[in-house]
Structure formats: C-alpha cells, structure tokens
Amino acid sequence: MQRRLSAILSADIVGYTRLMEIDDISTLSRLKSLRHDLVDPCIAAHNGRIVKLMGDGMLVEFAGVADAVRCATEIQSRIARIEPQQAQDRRLVYRIGVNLGYIIVDGDDIHGDGVNVAARLQSLADPGGVAIAGIVREHIGGKLGVDVEDFGQHSVKNHERPIQVHMARFGHPWQDSPPKRPVAGVTAEGEGVSIAVLPFTNMSGDPEQEYFSDGITEDIITDLAKVSALSVIARNSSFIYKGRAVDMKQVGRELGVRYVLEGSVRKAGNKVRIAAQLINGTDGRHVWAERYDRDLEDIFALQDEISKHIVDALKVRLLAKELETITKRGTDNPEAYQIYLMGRSCFNRGHESRSIKAARRLFANAIDVDPLYARAYAGLADCDSYLLLANDPAATYDNIIDNANRALELDPGLSDAHASRGIAMFTKGLRAEAEAEFELALERDPTSFEANFFHGRNCHAQGQFERARGLYERTIALKPDDYRAWDQLRAVHISLGHHQEAVQSARECLRLIEGEIAAHPDEPILMCYGGCLLADLGEMERGASWASRAAAIAGDDLRVLYNLACCYAKLGKPAEAIACLERQASGSPTYVASVVAWMKKDSDLDPLRNHPHYLALADRMEAQLAEPPGLIP
C-alpha cells in the first residue's frame, strides 16, 4: 500500500433520509441528474478523482489543495442558483469538507487520518457551505476569491489533538450570473487562476550563469504571488521539474494548476534575452508568448514588464497596491542584484556549511555594493542561523538579530527576516518568541520552507509531536525532495507510535539521501542520516557500513558527531554513541544548550535512555549550562 499527501473533499446531502422518505424515486433521479450534469463535470474540470460514492455522499481526491477548494465552492455556488427552484423541503443541498493530509492508498480506495478529518469537516459545514481545515486555509491564503471565517477548534475521532476549522464564505461572480466559458484557454475572471512557474532554462552556454536564470524565475514567482487574484505554486514545488523534459498537461495535473509558465534566459555580457510562454495546463494550448531583449541595467524594468504581461494574459485584475509591491525590487543596482542571486543559488544548493558560507560571503558583497539592500541583510541572517546550529564560532545570536532587524527596517514585510529571527530565538531556547516570529513569517509567506520547517522543530523540541507532524508534512508539500523534512517526519512518527508511517517516511528519506550521496559521496552527515534510516528498516549491516564511512571522515564536526551518535544508538552500539555525545560538551554554550534540549525529545536516542553512562552524561551537560536550553544540532 502507498502513502501520499492529497487534498480530500468529503460531501454529503443534507437530510437525505428525509428526502427519500418523502419521494424516493424523484429524489434519487434528481440526485443522479445533479451529479451527471453539474457535480461530476466540475470534479473532472478541477482534476479530481471520485474515490467512492456512499449513497448520497462522495469522497474525492485532488493532487492540489487549491483545486479542491475551487471545486467545492463552485459546486456549492452553482447548486445555490438552481435548487431554489425546488420547494424548500425538497432541495438537494450539500455539506462539503476539504482537508489536506496523508492518505493510505489501497487499490482504488483511500483510508487514513486525512480522510477521517475531511469527513469530520463535512459534518461541521453549514448546509450549502464548505468547511476547510486550518492547513488548507494556510495554503490558499486569500488568493482564490474565498473569504474564510474562523470556526474554532474541533475534535476528531481517533485524532489526538483538535483541528482548526474555517468556514469558506465565497462571493464569486457566478453566484449572481452563470459562469462564462473561458476564451482561448484563459480562466473566466473571478474563478481564481492557478499558475506554476517552471525554472527558466539557462541558454547562456555557461553553467555558471545558472544562478541568473534561477533567480529570474524565483523573482517572477515572487511577483505573481503578490497578485491577490492568482494562486501561485511555491518555488520549491516548481523547481522539482528543473532540468526535466516534461509534458505541460502532466505538470498541470501534478501541481493542480490551470496554467504553466516556462521560459529561457540568455545572458551575454551586458545583454540579456528572456523568452517566456504561458501554456494551458489542462489541454496544453499556448495562451501567450513573448521574447524580450534588453541591456542588463534594465533588468528590473524587464521583470516588471514580464510580470504585468503575464497578469494581462491571464485576464486578472492587478490592484494599484499590488503593482507597487511588484515594482519594489529592494535595490536599483544590477550588480548588487546579480551578487544576491549568486548568494541565493549557493544557499538553495544545500544546507551544509560550505554552501552556506559561500552564500554568506556573497550576501555580504551585495551589501557592500548596496548598503540598503534588505534582502541581502535577510540572506546574511539566514546563513548565520544555519551556521549557529552547526556550532560555527563566527555565527552569533546577536548578529542574526541585528541583520534581521536591519532587513525589517528596510522592508517591514520581509518574511525571510522573521524566519531568521525565529531560528535564532529557537536556538536560544526562546520558545514562545520563536513561535511568534515563525507565525509572522508564515503570515507574510505561507510557502516559506524555513519558517514551516523550523516552526515544526520548535514544536518537536517541546514535545508537541502532533503539531510538529503537521508542520513537517506542510514542509514536504512545499519541497518534496528535502531529506531533512522527511527524516524529522520519520522521527516524530516514532515518538507518536506510528510505526507504519515511520517506516514509509524512512524509505522515502533513504531514497532521497541515496541520490544526495551519489552527488556528494564525501558528505558524512548524509551517511549518518542514512545509517539511522537503514537501522530503522532492519538493514543493520549496511547501516553499520555507512556509519563507519561517516566516522572515518567526521573529524571534529559536532553536528556530524551528534548524528553519528544517533546512528550508533539505532545500530545497538551504545558505547560508540555515548562517546560521540560526550564530544558535544566542547561546543559553545548556546550549542551545548541546543544539544541537551534536543536529546530529551530525539527518538533516535531512545535506545540509550536507561543506559547509566548516558544518564550520567546528560546530567553533566545539564550542569554545565549557564543559560536556558535551546534547540538542535
């Protein structure tokens, strides 16, 4: 059986038993007609799959959460126009619930917590209404023309914690008039437009220019995400297609979007050429295409022009305030911008110290060129946050806070700066303060990988395992190929006693790590992660081999040694594990505090919990602390 993350729609007719008692033949006939003429075509149009019918109810799976919400609101809006023609006691009215969660696939059927929560949401919905889970609300933001009303927390059977519920209040134009058929593949205004921007191809003939094409792509994604009428797939989800020849209809299905933008960038000297084309992800038709040739110093005006042309092609409304935010670049210096893009490229390459230090140098260089560049200050804070977690003596809590604060002075809405403040506070052991910063970051950018991931780890460190699980799952939805998120999800499933889910997460994480090791064969921390996973999967001999390779090249890297300790603990080698943990005491006070706090909740160390040498070591490390415990290695 397969396990996957999906959007689930659960629907049920209000008072169906009563309707059948009044007139069973008429009710059944009308329900079949309603489904045939309206409901089923709507589900198909939004890329849904009807999993099963249960009398008057149905269960539907969607790959994308935006499609699920659009489908639910469209069904309810259209039924609201036709059912008033019936006598009030004969009307067919749905309640609908929409959830985003993990499901277990068993043939054509699906089971699991994600399905149970969707059914509970459906039972809470008003007649003719749509109830959505909190995680769905965070994903759609305000970009589908759907207002939401907080409906509080509600319990779900066999679900440890209550779920946050919102009620959709949708005022789409089609409630007052029939929907217009889109022209040339463009969605009718008001229906909400979803788009994915694929990584632009580097056509410069120089692989070193890859940073520039990636940076242009990221900025177009950022620009379009500022348009309230658009639903834009996050950068991390779009970039899984980088370097792949893909069918646009397949991309549309997999990402749950109606439109896909692809393009290329050619940079030569002071000249840049950008070609872009907008494609209907449903049928593969070309909607719009353009080629731009400019001087490099005009790059900012060019980006503004491209974003506005895309908005025009999609026939959505661009508000004056949104236009102002799109044209706000943070710098008007092309040199600073290029250096910043190189820094982001290094940062996105991987979160090992070499890449982070290279990114940090580039962000500092960008600030030298333009001292008022907010995103570069946020980049410095991002890098130092990761380096602080790795016990790098050059990274300090105060520097992170100073750089993040400077970024916020220059650009108060910068999500990255709040995320960096949160990571620093989380490392310092300021749990509530860290949570507040992560919430601010996610309010400004719900697709922030760092904010979701470290918010999860902050909850994890406090033993809030169910909440951490939700945040890790959200992180994976944003970036499915990040092995760290899969590994933390595995660990939290172990803490929750979810054996099957832990094994499935371990297998997926191992697959990703094997790919990383193929590209970086001398990276010891990857071998440590892999050794733990192999032990969880019962491959002890292979896990021990990976641990030996990691130990041979670990050196004095305390972060590697901590993860090697976890690996040894899983492999049934307590003496070796404790020896690695003993070396953690040589780190900075903040780092030692982080380790002590994480050791208490780390399920990988469970085999050592009652070992006398481990207990003695934990007591010694606790005693040497002069400040509150922080977070993780």
**Distance separating alpha carbons of residues 386 and 393, to the nearest angstrom:** 12
Q: Which of 487-496, 553-562, 589-598 has the lowest mean pLDDT?
A: 589-598
Report strand pairing: 230-232 vs 193-197.
parallel
pLDDT at 428: 82
pLDDT at 451: 92
Read off the pLDDT of each residue in 417-443 and give the average, rounded to a whole number.
89
Q: Which of 31-40, 95-104, 236-245, 521-530 has the lowest mean pLDDT?
A: 236-245
Exposure on the CB side of residue 130, measured as CA atoms within 13 A = 27
pLDDT tens digits along 352-395 = 778 899 999 999 999 999 999 999 999 999 899 888 888 888 88
CATH (domain of 31) = 3.30.70.1230
Comparing 619 with 326, the larger pLDDT belongs to: 619
pLDDT bin (cut points 50, 70, 90) of residue 158 is: low
Q: Which helix (H) or strand (E) holds 513?
A: helix 499-519
Q: Is residue 423 part of a domain?
A: no
Nearest Cα neighbor of 3 from 502, 535, 521 is 502
**What SS3 string covers 18-43?**
HHHHHHHHHHHHHHHHHHHHHHHHHH
> Which tokens go with 70?
């659009």
Which amino acid belongs to residue 289? A
Q: Is the pLDDT of residue 269 over 70?
A: yes
Q: Which of 30-34, 475-479, 506-510 has the lowest mean pLDDT?
A: 475-479
Distance set, CA 615 to CA 494, 518, 561, 624 (Å): 21, 38, 18, 15
Q: Are 326 and 226 in contact (CB under 8 A)?
A: yes
- Regarding whether 202 and 147 lie in a shared domain, the answer is no
Read off the pLDDT of each residue in 103-122 and give the average, rounded to a whole number.
86
- Regarding whether 237 and 168 lie in a shared domain, the answer is no
Q: Is the pLDDT of residue 570 over 90?
A: yes
pLDDT tens digits along 512-549 = 999 888 888 888 989 999 999 999 899 999 999 999 99
- Regarding whether 146 and 295 lie in a shared domain, the answer is no
**Partners of 195 in the beta sheet?**
232, 259
Q: Is the pLDDT of residue 192 over 60?
A: no
pLDDT bin (cut points 50, 70, 90) of residue 251 is: confident
Q: Is the pLDDT of residue 45 over 90?
A: no
From 121, 144, 175, give the residue that closes a domain. Answer: 175
**Distance separating alpha carbons of residues 130 and 136, to the nearest angstrom:** 12
- Regarding whether 123 and 12 lie in a shared domain, the answer is yes
Q: Is the pLDDT of residue 177 over 50?
A: no
pLDDT at 241: 86
Any residues with CB less than 8 A from the CB of 372 and at least 6 apart, and which? 331, 410
From 129, 148, 175, give the residue that closes a domain. Answer: 175
pLDDT at 156: 67
Map residue 129 onto helix, strand or coil.
coil
pLDDT at 185: 29
- Regarding whether 200 and 156 lie in a shared domain, the answer is no
Read off the pLDDT of each residue in 98-112 and give the average, rounded to a whole number.
86
pLDDT at 144: 62
**Distance separating alpha carbons of residues 68 and 45, to the nearest angstrom:** 11
pLDDT at 85: 66
Print the domain residue range for 63.
2-175
- Regarding whether 144 and 13 lie in a shared domain, the answer is yes
Q: Is residue 541 part of a domain?
A: no
pLDDT bin (cut points 50, 70, 90) of residue 575 is: very high
Q: Is the pLDDT of residue 84 over 90?
A: no
Q: Is the pLDDT of residue 238 over 70?
A: yes
Q: Is residue 107 part of a domain?
A: yes
pLDDT at 191: 40
Q: Which of 86-95, 314-323, 534-543 has the lowest mean pLDDT?
A: 314-323
- Regarding whether 129 and 79 lie in a shared domain, the answer is yes
Q: Is residue 281 part of a domain?
A: yes
Comparing 572 with 150, the larger pLDDT belongs to: 572
- Regarding whether 162 and 259 lie in a shared domain, the answer is no
Q: Are 8 and 99 in contact (CB under 8 A)?
A: yes
- Regarding whether 17 and 136 lie in a shared domain, the answer is yes
Q: Is the pLDDT of residue 175 over 50?
A: no
Number of domains in the chain: 2
Q: Is residue 480 part of a domain?
A: no
- Regarding whether 301 and 205 lie in a shared domain, the answer is yes
Report strand pairing: 230-232 vs 271-280.
unpaired
Q: Is the pLDDT of residue 198 over 60?
A: yes
Q: Tell me what percent of the residues of the chain surpass a pLDDT of 90.
A: 31
Query: Average model confidence (pLDDT) for the chain?
Result: 84
DSSP state of 491: H
Q: What are the start-end ranges of the H helices in 91-185?
A: 113-124, 134-140
From 109, 144, 175, give the residue that closes a domain. Answer: 175
Q: Is residue 589 part of a domain?
A: no
Q: Is residue 91 part of a domain?
A: yes
- Regarding whether 166 and 199 lie in a shared domain, the answer is no
Q: Are 590 and 425 in contact (CB under 8 A)?
A: no
Q: Is residue 14 part of a domain?
A: yes
Apex 12 CA angle, 9 and 15, nearest 5: 160
- Regarding whether 103 and 11 lie in a shared domain, the answer is yes
pLDDT bin (cut points 50, 70, 90) of residue 323 is: low
Read off the pLDDT of each residue in 47-57 and give the average, rounded to a whole number.
88
pLDDT at 46: 85
CATH (domain of 232) = 3.40.50.10610
Nearest Cα neighbor of 453 from 433, 470, 475 is 475
Which amino acid belongs to residue 281? G
CA dihedral 16, 22, 23, 27 (to 10 degrees): -20
**Distance separating alpha carbons of residues 262 and 275, to the nearest angstrom:** 8
**Distance separating alpha carbons of residues 257 and 239, to the nearest angstrom:** 15
